[in-house]
């Protein structure tokens, strides 16, 4: 009998073709010249979109992304790929790397800009093209998930997108970005506001002693602000970035050494290094009990209510990272310039050379930073009694499950 002719593939890239199978996952078929026969591989899904991605990954892995995604020919350095295709390949190849989420978000703005310019190729992206993109993105305000305008887009955020675009083009074989991107630090307006100890104490008072007409209403507000209180304690005690606080789980706490590893197991370190740090005596009981860890993915809503109540500056000046910046400023005066390297190690700006976690609390390593943190907490406790008092805290809220992230 003559062989049955295959139908037209659902999707094809180079020699790789995608076919449907009755009642089974989609199949990828290609000809292997080394083995001189056809080979096949299950796409692992019946969803066409996911199967196309599986085929793209296989194609890119086998060719090293050295073929044009449009015509599937080897690069001859005279034709360049479509910019949208180069970005898509860049995101596929980097989907498991640290920073993949940020890269997808930044390049999403470039893809939006390409919606009216679909024929743009990598070679077309020069300084003039990028200046047009900068002006277009700068004019687009930042909006909330509900579509409300929250603030103007900063120059630093725009330049971050340009840097990511340059990385995507440079990662495409045979291509090189024909423009220069400014470093974000050169265009970013760094927040200048810092909270002092009395203001930090007022933040704790906002959680512990809310204003309400009745005791029942006050208790309800304390429960609503319990996670904000957890965040304040964690941020003051560790000087950590908000994302490190939200990621923290009990497995990172080394109780015997009184050291917290801010980098979760299995997470690869990035340029924003997450250090191992000694923990203040006032905060250690919360880590011992497991009550320190946040069961929510963010505390933005209660934070915004606190910011309005206390009259803090708007925008990036007093976001959730304010505690980290404020603690570093206050502690620097107490540690002194001669020993400030310990503060840099505490912040993760300098990697510690100490391999033994039991040595971290020593004054020669991070002990001075630890002492400064404990003295700041003592000052906060004097101004806001109960800020780090477990009995007072447990009087109005019980530990909540860490089973799944929720939003307040």
What pLDDT tens digit does each residue of the chain (408 aa) get? Answer: 456 778 888 888 878 888 888 888 888 888 887 777 888 888 888 888 888 888 877 777 676 545 555 555 554 444 678 899 889 888 887 877 777 888 999 999 999 999 988 889 998 899 999 999 999 999 988 877 777 777 788 888 899 999 999 999 998 887 889 898 887 666 666 788 999 999 999 999 999 999 999 999 999 999 999 999 999 999 999 999 999 999 999 999 999 999 999 999 988 888 889 999 999 999 999 999 998 999 876 788 899 999 999 999 987 788 999 999 999 999 999 999 999 999 999 999 998 888 899 999 998 899 999 999 999 999 999 999 999 986 444 443 444 334 343 343
| Per-residue model confidence (pLDDT) at position 355 | 85
| Per-residue model confidence (pLDDT) at position 390 | 62
How far apart are alpha carbons 81 and 174 in whole angstroms? 10
List phi, psi (to 5°) of 252.
-85, -5
Contacts (Cβ under 8 Å, ≥6 apart) of 335: 342, 343, 368, 369, 372
| Per-residue model confidence (pLDDT) at position 188 | 66
| Per-residue model confidence (pLDDT) at position 132 | 93
Specify the residue for token string 């939006």. Answer: 112
| Per-residue model confidence (pLDDT) at position 94 | 80
H helix and E strand count, the chain:
16, 9
Please tell me the pTM assigned to this model. 0.66
- Residue 284 near residue 216 (C-beta atoms within 8 A): no
| Per-residue model confidence (pLDDT) at position 73 | 53
| Per-residue model confidence (pLDDT) at position 408 | 39
Percent of the chain that is helix, strand, coil (3-state, to 5): 50, 10, 40
- Residue 222 near residue 215 (C-beta atoms within 8 A): no
CA 233 vs. chain centroid, Å, equals 21
List phi, psi (to 5°) of 230.
-60, -45
Structure tokens at 283: 């905060």
The closest alpha carbon to 299, from 276, 277, 323, belongs to 323
| Per-residue model confidence (pLDDT) at position 63 | 61
């Amino acid at each position: 009998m003559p062989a049955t002719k295959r139908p037209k593939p659902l999707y094809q890239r180079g020699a790789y073709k995608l076919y449907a199978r009755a009642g089974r996952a989609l199949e990828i078929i290609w000809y292997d010249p080394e083995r001189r026969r056809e080979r096949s591989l299950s796409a692992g899904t019946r969803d066409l979109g996911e199967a196309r991605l599986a085929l793209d990954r296989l194609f890119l892995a086998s060719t090293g992304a050295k073929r044009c995604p449009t015509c599937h020919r080897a690069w001859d350095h005279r034709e360049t790929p479509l910019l949208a295709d180069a970005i898509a390949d860049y995101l596929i190849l980097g989907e498991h790397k640290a920073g993949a989420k940020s890269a997808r978000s930044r390049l999403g703005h470039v893809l939006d800009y390409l919606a009216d310019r679909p024929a743009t190729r990598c070679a077309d992206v020069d300084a003039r093209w990028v200046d047009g993109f900068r002006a277009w993105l700068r004019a687009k305000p930042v909006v909330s998930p509900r579509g409300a305008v929250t603030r103007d887009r900063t120059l630093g955020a725009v330049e971050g997108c340009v840097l990511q675009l340059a990385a995507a083009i440079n990662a495409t074989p045979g291509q090189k970005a024909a423009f220069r991107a400014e470093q974000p630090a050169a265009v970013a307006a760094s927040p200048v506001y810092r909270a002092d100890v009395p203001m930090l104490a007022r933040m704790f008072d906002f959680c512990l002693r809310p204003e309400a007409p009745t005791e029942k209403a006050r208790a309800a507000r304390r429960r609503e602000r319990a996670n904000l209180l957890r965040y304040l304690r964690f941020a003051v005690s560790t000087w950590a970035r908000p994302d490190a606080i939200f990621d923290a789980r009990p497995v990172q706490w080394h109780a015997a050494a009184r050291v917290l590893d801010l980098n979760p197991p299995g997470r690869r370190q990035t340029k924003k290094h997450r250090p191992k740090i000694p923990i203040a005596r006032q905060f250690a009981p919360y880590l011992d009990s497991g009550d320190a860890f946040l069961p929510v993915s963010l505390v933005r809503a209660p934070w915004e209510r606190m910011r309005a109540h206390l009259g803090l500056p708007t925008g990036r000046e007093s976001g959730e990272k304010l505690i980290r910046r404020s603690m570093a400023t206050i502690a620097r005066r107490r540690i002194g310039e001669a020993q400030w390297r310990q503060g840099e190690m505490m912040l993760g700006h300098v990697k510690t050379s100490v391999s033994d976690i039991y040595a971290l609390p020593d004054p020669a390593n991070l002990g001075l930073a630890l002492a400064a943190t404990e003295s700041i907490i003592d000052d906060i406790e004097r101004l806001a009694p109960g800020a780090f008092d477990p009995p007072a805290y447990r009087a109005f809220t019980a530990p909540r499950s860490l089973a799944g992230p929720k939003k307040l």
